[in-house]
Structure 1
Amino acid sequence: MTMNARMPALILLTLTLAACGGGGTGTPTPVGTPVTNLADSGAGSLRDTLAAAKSGDTLRLTSTGTLTLASPLTIDRDVTIIATGVTIDAAGKGRALDVAKGATVTMQGGTLKGGTGGVLPASLRRAALSEPTGRPSLDGVARLQSANLNTQAVTVTYGGVLSNAGTLTLDGVIVTGGKANIGGGIYNMEGATLTLKGSTNVTGNEATLAAPADATLEQGYGGGIFNKGVVNLIDGSISGNIAAYNGAGLSGGVGSRTTVSGGRIDANETTYPVTVSANDTSGSAGGGIYTLGDLTVSGGSVSGNKTAYFGGGITVQDSCIDAECTARNRPVLNISGGVIENNEQTDSSGRGGGGGIWTSGRTAITGGMVKGNTADYGGGVNTWFDTDITGGQISSNRVRFAGGGVLFVNKDRVFHIGGSARIDGNTAVTNGGGIQVGRASQVTMDGGSISGNVVTGDTDGGGGVRVTTGSTFNLAGGEIRNNTAVKTGGGITVNGTVNMTGGSITGNTVTNRIDARDGSGGGVRLYAGASMTASGGTISNNVAWYGSGVKLDGPYQQSGRSTFVLSGATVSGNRADDNNVAGGFWNDGSLSITAGSVTGNTARVGAGVYNTRIGLYSQTGGSVSGNNPDNVYNVP
């Protein structure tokens, strides 16, 4: 019994000793084939060890220090390279590393640096003919240029430090000090896959101009990475890179796919200024990311990047398939997580936009945060194509002009706000603190909230929403709440059309109390020619000097009087401040009440409805009652 009881312990001890080397020191045997010196070539060098390696081998550099290359290292088989503590320096002679098509390579640790890339070959130039070239232009589409890239006399370089045509994983690797015209740090080819993980950092690389005077040449793209294939950022960073034209952190070509699930793309900058010519305005774009391909962001951060023209953090741009632009490549942008913050579109001339995101792709935002970004227009998001915002938070963004949180641009597009989306705490100087509905576009909101946004200037309004001439805002649900404007339209200011079937416009404020600077329309301001129908929802508890619920304008210049039809909604609890007039409605336009109610509003006079001498008023249904001190007042 005693012997049997001890046997399991003896077996366990034997197995443990065997696992530790049979009672030795316990130091594990290093894995992989040793690379015994840091010479460029010869026995024991990385170059010779690679040439002799079999597919699936692991190569381990046993020394620390610098390996200075006379020419690039080429990897054409499946290997893992462990290079902790080693700098592989291209020393300005081409690039450090070429990964061939079909090879699967993992590099762990070490630094790749100091490359100047290679000459862009004819095969890549032929592929580039389907790519828009030259400087980014803010017209909603990247256009093909007429330059013949196959016969271009200027030498264009690509892949400053590394070129990948295979499947490459960088784990804890630094890629730095590269310069090339396309892909200052890395060029990831069509069909290739590049994965960044661990503490990998692509930093201090630059995409330069081969011919600054040639606006059509393919150059200045992708300071850190130029991607024609697939790039996955799992961890690590793409930081402190520079590009002349676009994508200082990463630039993607047509058909590319980029996924950011972790890590950082930060402090990158494009440098070409906004340039105005007789036929075009151009400049640099996409301080962090610029892509003509698909982009998915589910984690990580894009922060502190800068660009002159559009897309301080991210630019996703569609492109023409032919010179006439009869068909387009339309990329997809999906944001479900991560943070896009403190990016900036720097030119302040009023031509640029998209502090956080500028997109003309198909865009869906279901999560994540877009915050603290700055631009001329569209501080958080500037979107030109179908966009669905159903989650996440767009907050604390700032614009020098309009659209603090989101600027919607383009007619005949599908723009939607709903679900749990939050657009809050954004600031604009001229109008649209939360959102601007511009250029005859149409936005539908059926959920979420636009709250706590501000217009700071006194030339226009729309603390929550600004609807421009020819544009339409459909409010079916959600809240427009606690927004503020100095002059007018604490909740919404309208030149176009509002259709309200649900939701609420509540608790908004206009702060001005000086007659020459207006001070009207706490909930809604309708300029001359604007129209609104409210068949559901509530306009409540808004405050202004006068016209606290809704202010309707009469005819002005070429525009006719504004119109408001109350056909089922409730207008209640609005208050004219400083004991002024018109709690529910100030009517200089045309107000029709067919259903719904106007109740519980307060003012010195005209607590429910205040009709001026030119205002047209009719009530065929609904209820105007319980307002203090009166329900309807007609100016004599």
Structure 2
Amino acid sequence: MLEQARRWATTATVAAAAGAVGLVGAIPAAAAGTDNGDDHATVVNCFHNPLALQPAIDGAAPGETLLVKGTCVGPFTFSVDKNLTVTGQKHSTLNGNRAGSTVTVAAGVRLRLSHLTITNGTGTPDDATGQGGGILNNGTLTLTESNVAGNHANNGGGIWNAPGATANLFRSVVRHNTAADSGGGVRNQGTFTLSESTVNDNSAANGGGLANFGSMTLSGSKVRDNYADNGGGIFNANALTLNHSTVTRNTASLRGGGIYSEGGTVNLSGSEVRHNTANGGAGSGGGIFNSGATVTLDRSAVRDNRPDNCAPTGSVTGCTG
């Protein structure tokens, strides 16, 4: 088993190194202090033992910081109601080993992940409702300067944020994830924020990049080069807000190249929906397809989309062509 885990670890390390985008480098252990003010972090050396992280999680004290080195092979479950921080050194990786969600966060858990690549997750195995390939969050999750890449699930290929859960992404990338149903990058059922983050090159039937059924806010973020049947960039069914963000170069085979909103609200402020494509013919909403939603444009542009910017005609005030 250990030899097999080492082979998985080697594969994941190569893949992660090839795919890493803009991640911060080494973090001194002294800089990764615990929440209670202790500047000492517990080092988890997965170079020496790829299976070392889960026992460290189980044995950690509330508020402790775990400093990860190398590729840790999981999957990993945070099931105890306590605050924890897991920080990677250099290009550290959490590899789900294609055995379920790479990271599962239970209700009541507050977890901080930083400087990590989270990969090779598959959601719930052999389950048509499999959720959260990379991360299945039922608690409160903060993800900083990390990659969620190369995961798959039926819903939420990269991340599933459950009803009542909260997820905050800062300067992170969600990319190259897939979902059979919705949310290639992220499916949100709770409260989700993305700040200075990028969601790119994900795919799903609905919401190639993002599928929102809760409350989702993007600030200074990019949704680009994603693909879906409906909602190439974003599929929205509840409350979606974009502040100073861009939705570009996404593609839908049917409707809503940039954004497809099925009811709910979409508020764009200082944002742009541009160069997206819907291949459903005239009226398919290359930029935005609005199906009964309230869409508001405040100092925002929807332009240069194909075959049209907004559909049906007149459904988005201030959007023409």
TM range, smaller chain: 0.7 to 0.9
Correspondence for 2:172: 263
Correspondence for 2:289: 407
2:183 maps to 1:305:
no
Structure 1 residue 300 displacement after superposition = 1.5
Correspondence for 2:64: 105
Alignment of 1:234-273 (within 5 A): 234-243=144-153, 245-270=154-179, 272=180
Bigger Cα Rg = 1
Going from structure 1 to structure 2, the CA distance change for 1:359 and 1:474 (only over 3 Å counts) comes to closer
Gaps of 5+ in 2: 1-28, 31-35
**Letter of the 2:220 counterpart:** G
d(CA) in 1 for partners of 2:294, 2:104: 35
Structure 1 residue 98 displacement after superposition = 3.9
Correspondence for 1:485: none
d(CA) in 1 for partners of 2:77, 2:171: 22
d(CA) in 1 for partners of 2:161, 2:167: 8
CA deviations on 1:149-197 (whole Å, 9 max, x unpaired) are xxxxxxxxxxx2232532222222420033444xx21111112122222
Going from structure 1 to structure 2, the CA distance change for 1:102 and 1:354 (only over 3 Å counts) comes to farther
Structure 1 residue 228 displacement after superposition = 0.7
Q: Is the contact between residue 189 and residue 215 of structure 2 (CA under 8 Å) also seen in structure 1?
A: no
Going from structure 1 to structure 2, the CA distance change for 1:295 and 1:95 (only over 3 Å counts) comes to same
d(CA) in 1 for partners of 2:71, 2:84: 14
Structure 1 residue 227 displacement after superposition = 0.3
d(CA) in 2 for partners of 1:311, 1:99: 35
Aligned with 2:112 (options 195, 214, 226) = 195
CA deviations on 1:56-113 (whole Å, 9 max, x unpaired) are 8777xxxxxxxxxxxxxxxxxxxx312356354339xx95554479822212231453
Structure 1 residue 239 displacement after superposition = 0.9
Structure 1 residue 301 displacement after superposition = 0.6
**Letter of the 1:332 counterpart:** S
Q: Is the contact between residue 99 and residue 168 of structure 1 (CA under 8 Å) also seen in structure 2?
A: no
Correspondence for 1:167: 83
Larger RCO (CA under 8 A, 6+ residues apart): 2
CA deviations on 1:5-40 (whole Å, 9 max, x unpaired) are xxxxxxxxxxxxxxxxxxxxxxxxx97xxxxxxxxx
CA deviations on 1:381-406 (whole Å, 9 max, x unpaired) are 11121122222111111111111111
d(CA) in 2 for partners of 1:403, 1:85: 48
**Letter of the 1:357 counterpart:** I
Correspondence for 1:557: none
2:299 maps to 1:380:
no
Correspondence for 1:563: none
d(CA) in 1 for partners of 2:171, 2:279: 31
CA deviations on 1:544-594 (whole Å, 9 max, x unpaired) are xxxxxxxxxxxxxxxxxxxxxxxxxxxxxxxxxxxxxxxxxxxxxxxxxxx
d(CA) in 1 for partners of 2:112, 2:47: 20
Going from structure 1 to structure 2, the CA distance change for 1:399 and 1:201 (only over 3 Å counts) comes to same
**Letter of the 1:185 counterpart:** T
d(CA) in 2 for partners of 1:381, 1:230: 27
Q: Is the contact between residue 405 and residue 434 of structure 1 (CA under 8 Å) also seen in structure 2?
A: yes
Structure 1 residue 311 displacement after superposition = 0.7
Q: Is the contact between residue 58 and residue 81 of structure 1 (CA under 8 Å) also seen in structure 2?
A: no
d(CA) in 2 for partners of 1:294, 1:473: 25
Alignment of 1:462-541 (within 5 A): 466-467=313-314, 474=317, 480=320, 491=321
**Letter of the 1:224 counterpart:** G
Correspondence for 1:394: 273
Q: Is the contact between residue 355 and residue 379 of structure 1 (CA under 8 Å) also seen in structure 2?
A: yes
Q: Is the contact between residue 44 and residue 56 of structure 2 (CA under 8 Å) also seen in structure 1?
A: no
Going from structure 1 to structure 2, the CA distance change for 1:333 and 1:178 (only over 3 Å counts) comes to same
Correspondence for 1:86: 47
CA deviations on 1:359-417 (whole Å, 9 max, x unpaired) are 1121222211111111121111111211222221111111111111111112xx43222
Correspondence for 2:219: 336
d(CA) in 1 for partners of 2:138, 2:46: 31
Structure 1 residue 336 displacement after superposition = 1.9
TM-score, structure 1 length as denominator?
0.41
CA deviations on 1:334-358 (whole Å, 9 max, x unpaired) are 122111111111xxxxxx3111111
d(CA) in 2 for partners of 1:364, 1:387: 6
TM-score, structure 2 length as denominator?
0.78
Going from structure 1 to structure 2, the CA distance change for 1:424 and 1:113 (only over 3 Å counts) comes to same
Going from structure 1 to structure 2, the CA distance change for 1:265 and 1:96 (only over 3 Å counts) comes to farther
- Which is richer in strand? 2
**Letter of the 2:151 counterpart:** N
Q: Is the contact between residue 112 and residue 161 of structure 1 (CA under 8 Å) also seen in structure 2?
A: no
Going from structure 1 to structure 2, the CA distance change for 1:180 and 1:373 (only over 3 Å counts) comes to same
Aligned with 1:436 (options 297, 303, 311) = 311
RMSD: 2.7
d(CA) in 2 for partners of 1:435, 1:288: 24
d(CA) in 2 for partners of 1:223, 1:408: 29
Going from structure 1 to structure 2, the CA distance change for 1:290 and 1:220 (only over 3 Å counts) comes to same
In percent, how many aligned pairs have the same letter?
Answer: 23
Going from structure 1 to structure 2, the CA distance change for 1:209 and 1:83 (only over 3 Å counts) comes to closer
Correspondence for 2:299: 420
2:138 maps to 1:222:
no
d(CA) in 2 for partners of 1:191, 1:85: 27
